Amino acid sequence: MYTWESISGPGTIDDLVADAHAAGYSGMTVRRIHDWIAKGLLDQPRLRTRRRGSDKAEHSATQRRLLLLLLDKRQQVQHLSSLAQVPLAMWLWWDGYVPTRQAQRAWTTWVGRGRRSQEVAREGALGLLEQVGHQLATPTARARFVRIITELGNGKALTVRGRAELLDAVRDVMEPDTVFAASGLVRALGPAQTPMTVETVMGYVEALSIALGRTLDGKVDAVMLERARAVHRASMTDYLADRGTLAAEAGQLADLFREPTLQVQFDQAGRQLLLVLGMHLIHHRAQ
C-alpha cells in the first residue's frame, strides 16, 4: 500500500500524479493537479533553474503527502470547496505544512459562491437554531430566523435595518413573548462565565457576516489571515485549559464543549477562522 511513509523527498508534478496512481487514484491527472493548485488545495511548486534551461518545478515532500490526504478525504465530500478545509486546518493548527499563500487561496475556495454556499449557510442556520431556539418558539419565528441567518451566511450585507430585523428574529426564537414578555427575564444558555444570550448570538452572526462580506469583496489579505490565526491559537490555548469546567457547566450546550476529534477540527476549520476574523474586524472597527 502506497502511504505517507512511501514519500521521502520532493517531486515534480509527474511524481504527484504517480503518487496518486500508486495509492489507487487512477483518475488524477496533471490538469487536475493544476486545478487543485489554483484552488489552494495544493501549493505552487518551487521553480528550479540550471545553467542551461530549467528543470521541472518541485513540490515539497509535505505537499506530496498532503495530496494523498486530500485524495482520501475527497471520497467523503461532494465539493472541492469542502475539501479546502483540509489545507486550511493544517495551516490554522500546525506550522510547516501549508504556507499562507496557499491558505489564502484555500480560504477563497472554501467561502465560495452559489448554490453550495447557500446550502452550507442554511445548515449553519439550522444548527444555530437547534442550539439556541426555545421549545416554545413558534414555527413562524423559527422559519424567519433560518431565512435571515441563511441570507447573511450567503453573503447578504448586514444593514442597519437588517440588524434590527435580525435582533427581532433572534429574540423571538430565544425569548418568545409567551414565556419572557411578562417576566422581563433574560435567557442565558451555557456556562455562567461565557453565557449565550441574545446579544452573544447577535455578535456571533454579525462577526460571520462581516468576515464573509470582506472575503467575498476580495479584501482579506495574507496579513489579515495571519492575524486571525494568531488570535485563534491564543484563544484556543485558553479555551482548552478551561474546557472541562465549561463542559460541566454548559447544560444543554455541553456538546459544544466536548474535546474535538481530529475530524471535527478539519470540518470546523473554515467556520472557526471566519468567526475569529469577523471578531477581529469588529474590534478593529471599534478602535
What single string gives the DSSP state of each residue in 85-137?
HHHHHHHHH-SSSS-HHHHHHHHHHHH--SHHHHHHHHHHHHHHHHHH--TT-
Least confidently predicted of 109-113, 138-142, 242-246? 242-246
Q: Residue 88: pLDDT band by 50, 70, 90 thresholds? A: very high
Whole-model pTM?
0.85
Residue 169 has a pLDDT of 97
Residue 6 has a pLDDT of 84
Secondary structure string (H, E, C) spanning 63-81? HHHHHHHHHHHHCCCCCHH
Q: What is the CATH number of domain 4-79?
A: 1.10.1660
Residue 130 has a pLDDT of 92
Residues of the chain with CATH 1.10.1660: 4-79
Rounded to 5°, angle at Cα 262 from 257 and 264: 55
* Higher-pLDDT residue of 65, 52: 65
* Higher-pLDDT residue of 230, 266: 230
Q: Are 19 and 3 in contact (CB under 8 A)?
A: no
* Higher-pLDDT residue of 116, 174: 174
Whether residue 80 has pLDDT greater than 70: yes
CA distances from 82 to 58, 88, 120, 123, 264 (A): 26, 10, 10, 14, 13
